Structure 1
Amino acid sequence: MARPPLPIGAWGRISRKEISPGVWRALARFRDFDGVTRQLEKTVPGRSGAAAERALIIEMQDRANSVGADITRETRLSAVVPLWWAEQEDKSLAANTRTRYESVMDRHILPGVGNLRIREATVPALDRFLRAIKENTGATTAKHAKTILSGVLGLAVRHGALDSNPLRDVATVKVSAPDVRALTVDEARALRAGLALWQQQAPAKHGRERSSDLLDVVDLMLATGCRIGEALGIRWTDVDLKATPATVTINGTVVYVKGDGMIWQAHPKSEGSRQTYALPAFARDMLFRRSTETILNAYDVVFPSTSGSLRYPSSYRKQWRDARAALGFDWVTPHTFRKSVGTILANEHGVGAAMAQLGHSSESVTSKHYVQRNLNAPDHAAVLEQFGSAAGE
């Protein structure tokens, strides 16, 4: 068997000696990660001199591929994941992102590949793992898992335990985007009128009164294009009804944090969403009415719960499902209003205007996910008529 190459840092040759019957020792000089040259040795009882030499080479490889011996090629992924996650504590991850990542780590990554050693985290192994998640759980979860594993193995690369990140060569996890469906102007008007009537006439369900301000929240989303959590997180200090036109500023959002319940997060989902919107008259009038009717609450939010606490988006969605079923708009979700704003602005003023309103980083994101495709081609019939005209006409 050929002798394996010496690791970077080894000096001279490896010497080996039988120090007692059947016990071999291998020695070599090695320049360690701190720049100090040390003599390393490995003793293997009951084996050959070649076995002692191979054991010494493996030890030198681990020392060459580690920083402070924290992470080596033999370290299991289950030990690296917490180290990577600790680094994320210094980053301003949104609460929902943090919760989502923790769930993917606990439910999929640790039980799925946590026992793999870093050297075993190969492209085929990771590709099979992510493909299984996509098939069993969904593409979105698989994409999150790939993002986390890329960070974990990137940490291993920085520690010298890997030469390159295998996630770079793993197949792309494609998340298919459904066709965008937005409300037309006529549909929005019909929905608003029906919702106003439903709120007044709908009987109590299971002994509870129906929410009387579903339309108010809808109007704010239609007036700005903000997300449901951002709408429920708007405070009266974010509203300026004296300005011309009246404005509202998205400064934060409400999110659920395990162990803490619903909290007000001091930033919206993306930094681009932190902006001030000029309000159309219907939203201005709604906010003016609420300013005279709403009971003061400790959070100063415009749309508190009936008990004066922060309102759960999940509770609003549950109430909304009752309303939309009664009105014949089963396909409409709170996010549909954001898509409707993007579509009407793109049709009237171009995708750039929709992108700016929704706070996106690029027009491609807006056109792909928030603008309903127009299936009618432009009317160029008069131009194309030339093909059917007789010569000279």
Structure 2
Amino acid sequence: MEDVILLMLGTSIRPGEALALRREDVIFVEGRMKIKVVGTVSTTKKFGTVRKDTLKRERQKRTITVPSFTAEVLRRRLASYVDNPDGLLFPTRRGTPRQTNNINRLLRAFRATYAEELIEVGIVPEHLTARLLRKAAATTIANAADPKLAQLLLGHADVRTTIAHYIKPNDEVPDVTAEMLDARYHFGSDSVGPGRGA
């Protein structure tokens, strides 16, 4: 479960995309580890749980450079890889795709086991969901760079979807604004400032 959480947090991929990740989808480009998001796992009455080589929309296919904590997870998974028909990194014991609802079940168990630790780091246990992991990644990227980059990471067609549903508004104004105002309107201890005067 920890591996799936770190994978989703470090890439913002959906549960079905995480479970569909294959050994061949992990690539190295100029010394950086990347994943190709090209499939998903779905469960239907007719076909059961299967890995599909398509996503909901073609434009959702993307290649993501992973952060170091996610690369560590993927290295561990590659090192312990057991051959299975789809080449999955997260197969069941029988080598078949895992159901996405297992992620929610495992997250519930994780929340129950680590409730105190989650509260200590400021996370309400009931709020820890797969969607929250995607929102956390999107908000981090949007606040550090811009919403368009978060949109690309999440695989959305329109940045408005990312902004409306995945990015938590940042109500803290960056410190640089105070520095800029200090530089422009500097009132030293020997100067006349607002509220002072002759």
- What do you get for the CA RMSD once the two structures are aligned? 2.4
1:291 paired residue number: 78
Over the matched positions of the two proteins, sequence identity in percent amounts to 30
CA contact (8 A) 1:241 1:284 kept: no
- Counterpart amino acid of 2:132? T
Distance in 2 separating the partners of 1:271 and 1:335: 21
- Counterpart amino acid of 2:57? S
CA shift digits 1:78-106 (9 cap, x unpaired): xxxxxxxxxxxxxxxxxxxxxxxxxxxxx
For residues 96-107 of structure 1, the aligned pairs below 5 Å read none
Instruction: Give the Å deviation of 1:301.
Output: 0.8
Instruction: Give the Å deviation of 1:392.
Output: 7.0
Q: Could you tell me which of 159, 172, 176 is aligned with 1:376?
A: 172
Of the two structures, which has the highest relative contact order with CA contacts closer than 8 Å and spacing of 6 or more? 2
- Counterpart amino acid of 1:350? D
CA shift digits 1:322-358 (9 cap, x unpaired): 1112212221101211111100000100111111211
Q: Could you tell me which of 12, 27, 50 is aligned with 1:263?
A: 50
Distance in 1 separating the partners of 2:74 and 2:30: 13
Normalized against structure 2, the TM-score is what? Answer: 0.80
Distance in 2 separating the partners of 1:311 and 1:330: 23
Structure label with greater radius of gyration: 1
For the pair 1:217 / 2:13, whether they are aligned, the reply is no
Instruction: Give the Å deviation of 1:272.
Output: 2.9
Distance in 1 separating the partners of 2:136 and 2:166: 8
Q: Could you tell me which of 215, 231, 236 is aligned with 2:18?
A: 231
Distance in 2 separating the partners of 1:391 and 1:242: 61
Alignment partner of 1:290: what SS? helix
For the pair 1:339 / 2:135, whether they are aligned, the reply is yes
Instruction: State the aligned residue count.
Output: 178
- Structure 1's 279 and 260: CA in aligned 2 closer, same or farther, altered over 3 A? same
Instruction: Give the Å deviation of 1:376.
Output: 3.0
Instruction: Give the Å deviation of 1:241.
Output: 4.2
For residues 1-393 of structure 1, the aligned pairs below 5 Å read 214-241=1-28, 243-328=30-115, 329-377=125-173, 389-390=194-195
CA contact (8 A) 2:19 2:90 kept: yes
Normalized against structure 1, the TM-score is what? Answer: 0.42
- Counterpart amino acid of 1:257? T
Distance in 2 separating the partners of 1:242 and 1:353: 20
- Counterpart amino acid of 1:302? L
- Structure 1's 242 and 367: CA in aligned 2 closer, same or farther, altered over 3 A? closer
Instruction: Give the Å deviation of 1:288.
Output: 1.6
CA contact (8 A) 1:241 1:288 kept: no
> Unmatched 5+ residue regions in structure 2?
116-124, 188-192
